[in-house]
């Protein structure tokens, strides 16, 4: 993220030049200037206020702005949230799947992008796909509560080519004409990950964690992610929003800096 690195470099130079002495510089080295951050917050707030943005519109605006400057979601590997594939691992995984053959690539893409449990994935039928609404109905879900999950138009186009003239039947048929077994899909996921050079253990539910964490990182509201994943209890979804320790520390320092500044003013 070149711009982010540049910003940190500029902030560091500004900090050093304003400190005026080596002692002051050592006490502030490595910290983000609080007064700059507060000014940036005011600028963003002004844009939102003058643009009369709603909550959802503001979230979309911030998301687009992050992408414009090359910012990507944080890597939560090793944090309290579930393990998942990184962005590079996701790309390598899908590339390896498509390199094997188009059918395997499409299977892995559907599994990854829908967040479906493997038990629901293997039982998806052709008639469960709505190309008009860009949705796939997952019928064999945990708790036996069918739900519709959205799909991208690019994935819908791939599915149309795969289905051809068929109107009914299993979406992915085995050689025997039935649906794939859960065990077989687990084997495929594992072998594709090995071909992609991914070191960690990869299994179908890890792909579900991956898309869930990605959607959470990209700003999907918690109740919407809960609906997407089909969680009955909100606590199950909350783990994808668990803050990292660095996030907690940064928020603490930001909150306490205002109090510290007030204390300085009273002296």
3-class DSSP string for the chain: CHHHHHHHHHHHHHHHHHHCCHHHHHHHCCCCCHHHHHHHHHHHHHHHHHHCCCHHHHHHHHHHHHHHCCCCCCCCCCCCCCCCCCHHHHHHHHHHHHHHCHHHHHHHHHHHHHCCCHHHHCCCEHHHEECCCCEEEECCCCCCCCEEEECCHHHHHHHHHHHCCCCCCECCECCCCCECCHHHHHHHHHHHHHHCCCCCCCCHHHHHHHHHHHHHHCCCCHHHHHHHHCCCCHHHHHHHHCCCHHHHHHHHHHHHHHHHHHHHHHC
pLDDT at 127: 96
DSSP bridge pairs for 125: 170
What backbone phi and psi angles, to 5 degrees, belong to 228? -60, -40
Q: Would you call 29 a catalytic residue per the annotation?
A: no
pLDDT at 55: 82
Q: Which residues of the chain have pLDDT under 70?
A: 1-35, 72-82, 244-247, 258-267
Closest among 231, 223, 204 to 117, alpha carbons compared: 204
Q: Would you call 117 a catalytic residue per the annotation?
A: yes
pLDDT at 240: 87
Q: Would you call 162 a catalytic residue per the annotation?
A: no
pLDDT at 111: 95
114 neighbors 129 (Cβ within 8 angstroms):
no
pLDDT at 267: 54
Out of 139, 182, 205, 239, pick the active-site residue. Answer: 205
Out of 117, 123, 179, 214, pick the active-site residue. Answer: 117
pLDDT at 259: 56
pLDDT at 73: 61
Out of 13, 60, 142, 184, pick the active-site residue. Answer: 142
Closest among 206, 181, 211 to 192, alpha carbons compared: 206
pLDDT tens, position by position, 184-216: 999 999 999 999 999 999 999 999 999 998 898
Q: Would you call 208 a catalytic residue per the annotation?
A: yes
Q: Would you call 60 a catalytic residue per the annotation?
A: no
Q: Would you call 142 a catalytic residue per the annotation?
A: yes
pLDDT at 8: 40
């Amino acid at each position: 993220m070149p711009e982010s690195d540049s910003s940190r470099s500029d902030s560091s130079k500004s900090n050093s030049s304003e400190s005026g002495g080596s002692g002051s510089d050592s006490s502030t080295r490595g910290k983000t200037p609080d007064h700059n951050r507060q000014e940036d917050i005011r600028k963003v707030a002004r844009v939102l206020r003058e643009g009369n943005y709603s909550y959802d519109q503001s979230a979309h605006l911030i998301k687009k702005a992050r992408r414009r400057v090359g910012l990507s979601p944080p890597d939560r590997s090793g944090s309290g949230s579930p393990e998942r594939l990184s962005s590079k691992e996701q790309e390598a995984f899908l590339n390896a799947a498509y390199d094997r053959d188009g059918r395997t690539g499409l299977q892995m893409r559907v599994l990854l992008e829908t967040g479906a449990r493997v038990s629901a994935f293997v039982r998806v039928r052709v008639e469960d796909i709505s190309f008009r609404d860009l949705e796939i109905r997952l019928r064999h879900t945990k708790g036996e509560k069918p739900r519709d999950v959205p799909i991208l138009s690019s994935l819908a186009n791939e599915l149309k080519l795969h289905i051809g003239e068929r109107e009914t039947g299993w979406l992915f048929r085995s050689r025997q004409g039935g649906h794939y077994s859960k065990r077989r899909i687990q084997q495929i996921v594992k072998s594709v990950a090995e071909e992609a050079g991914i070191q960690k253990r990869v299994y179908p539910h890890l792909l579900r964690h991956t898309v869930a964490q990605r959607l959470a990182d990209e700003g999907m509201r918690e109740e919407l992610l809960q609906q997407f994943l089909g969680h009955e209890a909100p606590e199950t979804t909350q783990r994808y929003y668990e803050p990292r320790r660095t996030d907690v520390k940064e928020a603490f320092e930001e909150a306490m800096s205002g109090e510290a500044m007030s204390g300085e003013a009273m002296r």
